[in-house]
């Protein structure tokens, strides 16, 4: 030891560190490693300390344990806290989602009607559903409605978003107008349009008669009832597509468009080669959301046509409702919806798989 330097000895054997000494002044002794004792050195607070050191006279110098965690440890701790908070909510959501589906699957294995005993028949209901021509016809009508409605809503929503984006803030107030129908429930929308399209008292047949078109009965004609529901759904949900796509247009980087304009590209060329390709992922997401919603169509058909005229608008959920609450075949209705949910899930997995393959091929 050098004279005039008050040294502190670690409580662990063969370890000491003089005041102002360097980290290497502490000699390692397993299993502990004295990085620095107390506050030696100009960067004392940045190292871990083993706790307490003693002076030569045996007095104890208290040193707080400074365990400064690194960024990775902080991130893991934050993730653990987030998981602890989210786990109860995820469990509740999982139970709320899986329990009804599981109960429907359970009922589909029995021959059970209102008030009757449970009679286990296994896959008998599934065989009956898959061989039911009415069920396949309802699936075809549902798919037709979905394709027409989603296509029209995407086209109208994109056109409106492009128009508002190009016009700037001059017609920004139109956003409120387009969003307003979204604030109304589906059954209310259906009742409003049922009154407006009524052949006797409706305002639309009255206006059509003023221009020489008599006998307009869109909801009562089997050939046009389904397209009429497509138009009603488009009026109702185009605002949702418009809001999402306009936000996507505003988020696009301006540099590619400025460079293309300097190169002499017109608006249509920029739209075709820049806007649409850059908006394609968002368009697919919006189309997927709307497709799932359209596949579940029930309120519009129930409130306007009640599945008619005939079976022109009897979609899959309408058929299941009629089977359960009018024919009182609850197990058969549950089987229809389980098969329908399985088909939707399988189609979604196929689409996601194709998208994943395309992403990996591009990478």
The CATH number of whichever domain residue 240 belongs to comes to 1.10.3720.10
Which pLDDT band, with edges at 50, 70 and 90, does 209 fall under? very high
Contacts (Cβ under 8 Å, ≥6 apart) of 348: 288, 292
Residues 174 and 289 in one domain: yes
Across 18-22, 241-245, 281-285, 358-362, least confident range: 18-22
Within a domain: 51: yes
Check pLDDT > 50 for residue 13: no
Residues 104 and 156 in one domain: no
Contacts (Cβ under 8 Å, ≥6 apart) of 170: none
Which pLDDT band, with edges at 50, 70 and 90, does 164 fall under? confident
Within a domain: 358: yes
Domain count, the chain: 3
Within a domain: 117: no
Within a domain: 264: yes
Cβ-contact 328, 113 below 8 angstroms: yes
Mean pLDDT of 149-170: 89
The whole-angstrom separation of Cα 84 and Cα 70 is: 21
Considering 26, 45, 62, which residue would you say is the last residue of a domain? 62
Residues 195 and 304 in one domain: yes
**Order of all β-strands in the sheet with 16-18:** 16-18, 7-10, 52-55, 60-62
For the packed helices 316-325 and 330-362, what is the interaxial angle rounded to 10 degrees?
Answer: 160
Q: Please tell me which residue, 90 or 3, carries the higher pLDDT value.
A: 90
Residues 169 and 209 in one domain: yes
CA torsion, ordered 346, 348, 351, 357, to nearest 10 deg: -80
Residues 54 and 173 in one domain: no
The whole-angstrom separation of Cα 286 and Cα 241 is: 7
Mean pLDDT of 2-11: 45
The whole-angstrom separation of Cα 21 and Cα 4 is: 13
Residues 220 and 103 in one domain: no
pLDDT value of position 363:
62
Nearest of 97, 58, 6 to residue 341 by alpha carbon: 97
pLDDT value of position 78:
65
pLDDT value of position 58:
43
Within a domain: 119: no
Q: What is the pTM of this model?
A: 0.74
Residue 64 buriedness (CB in 10 A; 0-12 / 13-18 / 19+): exposed
Which pLDDT band, with edges at 50, 70 and 90, does 79 fall under? low
Residues 214 and 95 in one domain: no
Strands 60-62 and 16-18: unpaired
Residues 202 and 350 in one domain: yes
The whole-angstrom separation of Cα 158 and Cα 241 is: 7
Mean pLDDT of 201-228: 93
Q: Please tell me which residue, 151 or 349, carries the higher pLDDT value.
A: 151
Check pLDDT > 80 for residue 51: no
Contacts (Cβ under 8 Å, ≥6 apart) of 319: 134, 135, 138, 307, 336
Mean pLDDT of 204-224: 92
Q: Please tell me which residue, 246 or 94, carries the higher pLDDT value.
A: 246
Cβ-contact 189, 237 below 8 angstroms: no
pLDDT tens digits along 137-147: 999 999 999 99
Residues 90 and 133 in one domain: no
The whole-angstrom separation of Cα 326 and Cα 342 is: 24
Mean pLDDT of 173-190: 88
pLDDT, averaged across the chain: 81
Mean pLDDT of 345-349: 84
Within a domain: 113: no
pLDDT tens digits along 222-278: 999 999 999 999 999 999 999 999 999 999 999 999 999 999 999 999 999 999 999
Range of the domain at 92: 71-108
Check pLDDT > 60 for residue 69: no
Within a domain: 114: no
Q: Please tell me which residue, 125 or 116, carries the higher pLDDT value.
A: 125
pLDDT value of position 272:
93
pLDDT value of position 273:
94
pLDDT tens digits along 272-307: 999 999 999 899 989 989 999 999 999 999 999 999
Strand partners of residue 60: 54
Residues 223 and 244 in one domain: yes
The whole-angstrom separation of Cα 332 and Cα 344 is: 19
Within a domain: 152: yes
Residues 171 and 207 in one domain: yes
Cβ-contact 79, 73 below 8 angstroms: no
Cβ-contact 326, 116 below 8 angstroms: no
Residues 139 and 217 in one domain: yes
> Side-chain half-sphere of 339: how many Cα atoms within 13 Å?
24
HEC profile of 250-309: HCCCCHHHHHHHHCCCCHHHHHHHHHHHHHHHHHHHHHHHHHHHHHCCCHHHHHHCCCCC
pLDDT tens digits along 309-336: 999 999 999 999 999 998 889 999 999 9
The whole-angstrom separation of Cα 294 and Cα 149 is: 7
Check pLDDT > 50 for residue 88: yes
Considering 62, 81, 100, which residue would you say is the last residue of a domain? 62
């Amino acid at each position: 030891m050098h004279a005039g330097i008050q040294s502190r000895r670690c409580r662990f054997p063969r370890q000491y560190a003089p005041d102002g000494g360097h980290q290497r002044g502490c000699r390692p002794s397993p299993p502990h490693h004295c990085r620095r004792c107390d506050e030696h050195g100009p960067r004392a607070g940045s190292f871990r300390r083993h706790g307490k050191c003693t002076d030569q006279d045996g007095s104890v110098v208290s040193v707080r344990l400074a365990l400064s965690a690194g960024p990775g440890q902080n991130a893991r701790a934050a993730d653990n806290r987030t998981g602890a908070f989210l786990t109860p909510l995820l469990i509740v959501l999982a139970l709320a989602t899986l329990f009804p589906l599981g109960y429907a699957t359970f009922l589909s294995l029995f021959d059970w009607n209102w008030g009757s005993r449970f009679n286990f028949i296994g896959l008998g209901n599934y065989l009956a559903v898959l061989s039911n021509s009415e069920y396949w016809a309802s699936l075809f009508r549902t798919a037709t409605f979905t394709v027409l409605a989603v296509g029209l809503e995407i086209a109208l929503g994109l056109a409106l978003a492009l128009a508002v984006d190009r016009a700037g803030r001059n017609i920004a107030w139109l956003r409120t107008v387009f969003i307003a129908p979204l604030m109304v429930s589906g059954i209310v929308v259906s009742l409003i349009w049922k009154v407006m399209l009524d052949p006797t008292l409706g305002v639309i047949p009255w206006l059509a008669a003023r221009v020489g078109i008599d006998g307009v009965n869109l909801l009562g004609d089997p050939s046009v009832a389904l397209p009429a529901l497509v138009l009603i759904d488009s009026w109702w949900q185009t605002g949702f597509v418009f809001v999402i796509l306009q936000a996507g247009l505003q988020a696009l980087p301006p540099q590619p468009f400025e460079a293309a304009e300097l190169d002499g590209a017109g608006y249509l060329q920029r739209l075709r080669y820049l806007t649409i390709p850059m908006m394609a992922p968002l368009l697919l997401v919006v189309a997927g959301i709307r497709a799932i919603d359209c596949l579940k169509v029930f309120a519009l058909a129930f409130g306007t046509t009640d599945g008619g005229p005939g079976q022109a608008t009897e979609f899959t959920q309408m058929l299941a409702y009629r089977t359960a609450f009018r024919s009182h075949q609850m197990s058969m209705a549950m089987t229809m919806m389980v098969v329908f949910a399985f088909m939707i899930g399988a189609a979604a997995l196929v689409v996601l798989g194709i998208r994943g393959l395309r992403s990996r091929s591009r990478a």
